[in-house]
Amino acid sequence: MISLDAIRAAAARIAGAVERTPFLPSQTLSRLTGTELYIKFENLQFTASFKERGALNKLLSLGDDERRRGVIAMSAGNHAQAVAFHSARLGIPATIVMPKGSPNTKIKNTRVHGATVVLEGESLADAARHAQDLAVRDGLVFVHPYEDELIVAGQGTVGLEMLEAQPALDVLVVPIGGGGLIAGIATAARALNPKIRIYGVESRTYPSMHQRLAGEPVKVGGDTIAEGIAVKDVGDIAFDIVKKEVEDVVVVAEETIERAVVALIEIEKTVAEGAGAAALAALLEHPQRFAGKRVGIPISGGNIDSRVLASVLMRGLVRDARLVRLRVTMPDVSGSLAKVAQLIADAGGNIVEVQHQRIFGTASVRSPEVEFLVETRDSEHTRTLVRSLEEKGIRVSVT
């Protein structure tokens, strides 16, 4: 089992090469979640995730011969970047095996740090098998993302810093992929404050720790925005620690993870990937568990693909009824389109896009439909805008 002394030794070893990230209160998110919330900004690490801590702790333990031979790791992205970056700093050759579906930004950033990137398999498990084969074939040191005591001790420095900054925390909520982060944090936090409660969070599509704790067969899979915690099974080291130290593991829906990503951008002005926003998602989806408590959460990573982020933000506008599609039926006479557009503007709506439909879905050739994509302040503003159009005799529906 990992000890507090091992975590403190890791903290001393990596000091100066890894950021001691801010751990700050959020007044607005505290009101939103009904908690006194503190956020650990691990997305401010150089490679934008906590993974640097464990990776560097492991790399610094290698002997001269191991360093010369080089290292290999498998990762969906953040562990890859951490190993690549710190291996380059230390002059250690690094090979990273990543699943073919890894986000482009993580593949690019791993290559930028000088590692050899091999894309293999459709899942992290496939990439792991290939990495193990290459390690044996080429005599490389395998740097596992979570099934390694030095890795777990390094990740535990997150919890050490959180408790040193706020020793009176009631609860920590931590995302779970392979389990290295929660295992390290739980070990540090419970040693420093035996009364603190630790909760894990998993995506509803990959609830492997939740299933193992319940004694159920592990059945996971599907699309998820939280690819950083989309792991088919957790590590044995993590499972043993979680059984002993963690209160419960909750699962969250994809939509809630998206809401959390949007909330962190709009409120905290900080970018989180899906896995990085999972802890906040737990507070949003299970508020009764944490109401009135002093809660600490990590934003474990910020490496989200730009295209995905753009889609999440737009979907957030739609979900909050701040981006709506109005379908308007109007007479096919000169000036009709301009009249409706002016009415929308007068009601405070911002027209983003217009599509004029004369052929499909119209009741009459004399009454074409026009779809307006409109930005509004909120759902109440949308309702007011629709009423103002209807009062002017405009037939309109929200789709």
202: amino acid identity, one letter: E
Domain boundary among 111, 142, 173: 142
pLDDT at residue 334 in the model: 80
Residue with tokens 């529906």: 397
Whether the Cβ atoms of residue 116 and residue 94 lie closer than 8 Å to each other? yes
Specify the number of domains making up the chain: 3
pLDDT digits (tens, 9 = 90+) for 288-320: 999 999 999 999 999 998 899 999 999 999 988
158 and 56 share a domain?
Answer: no
Closest CA to 59 of 115, 105, 20: 115
Domain of 379, CATH number, reads 3.30.70.260
Is 222 buried (19+), middle (13-18) or exposed (0-12) by CB count in 10 A? exposed
Closest CA to 282 of 34, 22, 23, 28: 34
pLDDT digits (tens, 9 = 90+) for 165-181: 999 999 999 999 999 99
Helices and strands: H and E segment counts in the chain: 17, 14
271 and 392 share a domain?
Answer: no
pLDDT at residue 168 in the model: 95
Q: What does DSSP say about strands 94-98 and 116-119: parallel, antiparallel, or unpaired?
A: parallel
- Exposure b/e, 62-83, CB count within 10 A at least 16 = b: beeeebebbbbbbbbbbbbbbb
Catalytic residue among 87, 102, 208, 300: 300
Domain that holds residue 227: 4-50+148-315
pLDDT band, residue 229 (cuts 50/70/90): very high
Tell me if residue 219 is catalytic.
no
222 and 273 share a domain?
Answer: yes
pLDDT digits (tens, 9 = 90+) for 45-68: 999 999 999 999 999 999 999 999
Average pLDDT of the chain to the nearest whole number: 93
d(CA 225, CA 261): 10
pTM: 0.89
pLDDT at residue 123 in the model: 78
pLDDT at residue 359 in the model: 55
Catalytic residue among 51, 58, 106, 293: 51
Share of the chain above pLDDT 70, in %: 97
292 and 367 share a domain?
Answer: no
**pLDDT above 90 for 87:** yes
pLDDT band, residue 137 (cuts 50/70/90): very high
pLDDT digits (tens, 9 = 90+) for 314-360: 999 998 889 999 998 877 778 888 989 999 999 999 999 998 766 55
Count of other CB atoms within 10 angstroms of residue 202: 29
Q: What does DSSP say about strands 23-25 and 36-41: parallel, antiparallel, or unpaired?
A: antiparallel
Tell me if residue 300 is catalytic.
yes
